[in-house]
Amino acid sequence: MQKTALGKTGMEISRVVFGGIIVMDEEQKDADRYVASAVDSGVNYFDVAPSYGNSEEKLGPALKPYRNKVFLACKTMDRTAAGAREQLHDSLSKLKTDYFDLYQMHSFSTLEDLSAFEENGAMEALLQAKKEGLIRNIGITSHDEEVALAAFSKFDFASIMFPVNWSLGLSKNMGKQLEEHCIKNQTGFLGMKTLAHRSWQQGDASVYPKSWCKTIFDDDRLGVCALKYTLSCGVDAVVPPGNFDQFSFAVSNIEECLKNPLSEEDTAYLRSMLPNEKDFFFVTSPTTEQSQTEQEKTDNLKEFMRPELSTSSGIRL
């Protein structure tokens, strides 16, 4: 599989990411088989998080034979230094490794998440862990573009994982500001929700129960066009849904998508398949309380993004 540089990390990664949810709740022998198949296919990027059920416990033994060949990323949702440090060490133990190639602040969704940059916040623990060699790069994941950009005003993250989805991009222009930021700053850009389609509806076939929305599993043309759309947004790699079938679909089609990029005909087909507004699988979470006006929201974001802000310890974030 074709590899590409992940931002400024100096690391070469596969264009498809193996998400840890794939092995969550699977038998260990199946987890081992999925990982072996991924490595044989040229996938070297594996991503997991403590919040993904027992995926760390399953992925650790499966990855052990290949650890020196792969790029391993993990995450923390704890915004305190003590909590993030504890999660980091727990994940290292479960994944049977002594370092992560990338460690990410997970799911930045509201302004409250920016407390991670305050004194005794998670960033202190991550910076210390990087000095100790426990993590090599610091990244972020988010579902809210404004909050993600506010976080970037405080720290030059090595990467961001963000929904880069055809339906949200074509209908709401979601992700375009981050795309520009990543290109300008050579930030690693990982596109998740690539094959997401719409919300589940009554009467839908019960497939892929790990997915909280309906993914594209019944229209290969739509799936290929969706992959092409995400790649057209400048991502370094795509993150398929958390099941082995759709991961395999992405692996099988990635080279063709790279060889024949998104065309006008592909875009027209995607537009013809856009779900109704009420059926969108994802709505950006509010960055403040719902009662807040748009002007108040903007003012609050500007406050958090002031360049003169720094931690009380003097570290510029």
Residue-wise pLDDT for 96-133, tens only, equals: 999 999 999 999 999 999 999 999 999 999 999 999 99
Residue 313 is assigned to a structural domain of this protein = no
Q: Specify the pLDDT at position 211.
A: 82
Q: Specify the pLDDT at position 294.
A: 42
Low-confidence ranges of the chain (pLDDT < 50): 283-317
Q: Give CA torsion, residues 233, 263, 198, 179, to 10 deg.
A: 10
CA–CA distance, 313 with 291 (Å, rounded to integer): 35
Q: Specify the pLDDT at position 202.
A: 82
Domain hosting 249: range is: 3-304
**Model confidence pLDDT, tens digit, residues 157-179:** 999 999 999 999 999 999 999 99
* Encoded tokens for 285: 């979470």
Residue 286 is assigned to a structural domain of this protein = yes
Domain count, the chain: 1
CATH assignment at residue 260: 3.20.20.100
> Any idea what DSSP says for residue 44?
-
Q: Where are the alpha helices (DSSP H) in 199-263?
A: 220-232, 244-259
Q: Specify the pLDDT at position 214.
A: 86
Q: Specify the pLDDT at position 180.
A: 97
Query: Which residue matches tokens 């000095």?
Result: 131
Please give the model's pTM, rounded to 2 decimal places.
Answer: 0.88
Residue 310 is assigned to a structural domain of this protein = no
Angle between helices 81-94 and 122-131 (to 10 degrees): 50
